[in-house]
């Protein structure tokens, strides 16, 4: 249920209503805008009398939320959420570009790539230290050593870090080094991990699951937000369909859908979506055109020798060309 208060309602009147609602067992989330205040109620709202609430002098209107997600809903939070990472803003009128290698392979590699992507205009560095791979025999990442290399790259370039936590055993270690914790597609419905990510308090980049509907994706975000962490960034990275020419099928329609029903910022990852570096440039431009808040792109200084996903990684020169075209 959503309660919209009239413009310039006195603070004491809002607090009085909140207290009355809490007495009735409601959890109340307040969103304050320039000229309004919205109270989002979570709990069994069936026992509340809508007409009784509307009888309060300063209540503009009362609406029931149809979506199962509440905190991620635009009804709860009409204005776009903007997340600030050390001065880098994600959401609103900003275009954020996250770039870096799929996997951290060495200190020299990640620092070199970080310098290249920053020079081209990227504002956040990505790199995997823990890698959830389909095969147990594939490169699994350098673990905490890789996180230390990422931190060195941050010190050299000043770029904030986003890297993936793959389980409960790794998330607190990742949180020590990263500015943004990534929850990957394979873990989108790892509910224990989502709850933990919500409790840690650092911004979370939540990738869409390979076969997840948009509603399931937003419900995963709801798990994080329900634990008190409102700084969630969504990332569309392609879904599994019958098509086999590309690694996945990039669902660009998800961007305007998210913009319509949620206030959370949404990025697009064309690298994982296609698995082909030649498709990264046109789909990046398409993502910006349909309203994405930014991109997440894999860049490697020597893709042919990459330990992970070299076929979808841009060389620094190609990334520079893409950044020029995006501008």
pLDDT for 143-189, tens place per residue?
999 999 999 999 999 999 999 999 999 999 999 999 999 999 999 99
- pTM exceeds 0.85 for this model: yes
Confidence of residue 195 (pLDDT cuts 50, 70, 90): very high
Beta carbons of 91 and 81 less than 8 angstroms apart: yes
Q: Which residues contact 247 (CB under 8 A, 6 or more apart)?
A: 238, 272, 273, 274, 275, 276, 312
What is the structure's pLDDT at 134?
A: 73
Residue 33 has pLDDT above 80, yes or no: no
For 242, the token pair is 């019958």
What share of the chain in percent tops pLDDT 70? 99
Sequence ranges of the domains in the chain: 2-63, 83-326
Q: Where is average pLDDT lowest: 2-11, 76-85, 90-99, 290-299?
A: 2-11
Provide CATH code, domain 83-326. Answer: 3.20.20.70
Better pLDDT: 292 or 29: 292
Beta carbons of 97 and 297 less than 8 angstroms apart: yes
- 3-state helix, strand and coil shares in percent for the chain, rounded to the nearest 5: 40, 20, 40
Average pLDDT (257-266) is 97
User: What are the b/e assignments for 121-135, b being 16+ CB within 10 Å?
Assistant: bbbbbbbbbbbeeee
Confidence of residue 137 (pLDDT cuts 50, 70, 90): low
Better pLDDT: 311 or 34: 311
Beta carbons of 193 and 225 less than 8 angstroms apart: no
Class of domain 2-63: alpha beta
C-alpha to C-alpha distance for 163 and 204, rounded to whole angstroms: 10
């Amino acid at each position: 249920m959503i309660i919209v208060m009239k413009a310039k309602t006195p603070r004491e009147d809002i607090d009085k209503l909140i207290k009355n609602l809490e007495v009735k067992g409601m959890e109340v989330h307040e969103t304050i805008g320039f000229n309004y205040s919205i109270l989002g109620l979570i709990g069994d709202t069936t026992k509340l009398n809508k007409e009784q609430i509307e009888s309060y002098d300063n209540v503009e209107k009362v609406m029931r939320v149809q979506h199962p997600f509440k905190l991620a809903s635009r009804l709860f939070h009409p204005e776009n959420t903007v997340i600030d990472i050390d001065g880098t803003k994600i959401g609103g009128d900003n275009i954020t570009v996250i770039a870096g290698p799929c996997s951290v392979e060495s200190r020299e590699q990640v620092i070199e790539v970080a310098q290249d992507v920053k020079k081209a205009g990227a504002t956040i560095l990505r790199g995997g230290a823990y890698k959830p791979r389909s095969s147990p025999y594939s490169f699994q990442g350098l673990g905490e050593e890789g996180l230390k290399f990422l931190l060195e790259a941050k010190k050299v370039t000043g770029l904030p870090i986003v890297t993936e936590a793959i389980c409960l055993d790794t998330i607190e270690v990742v949180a020590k080094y990263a500015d943004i914790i990534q929850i990957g597609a394979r873990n989108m419905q790892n509910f224990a991990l989502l709850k933990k990510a919500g409790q840690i308090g650092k911004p979370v980049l939540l990738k869409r699951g390979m076969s997840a509907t948009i509603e399931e994706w937003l419900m995963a975000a709801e798990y994080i937000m329900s634990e008190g962490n409102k700084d969630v960034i969504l990332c569309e990275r392609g879904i599994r369909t019958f098509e086999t020419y590309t690694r996945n099928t990039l669902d660009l329609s998800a961007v305007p859908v998210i913009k319509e029903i949620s206030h959370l910022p949404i990025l697009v990852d064309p690298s994982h979506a296609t698995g082909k570096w030649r498709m990264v440039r046109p789909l990046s431009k398409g993502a910006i055109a349909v309203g994405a808040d930014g991109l997440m792109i894999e860049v490697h200084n020597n893709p042919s020798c990459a330990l992970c996903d070299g076929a979808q990684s841009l060389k620094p020169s190609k990334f520079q060309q893409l950044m020029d075209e995006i501008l």
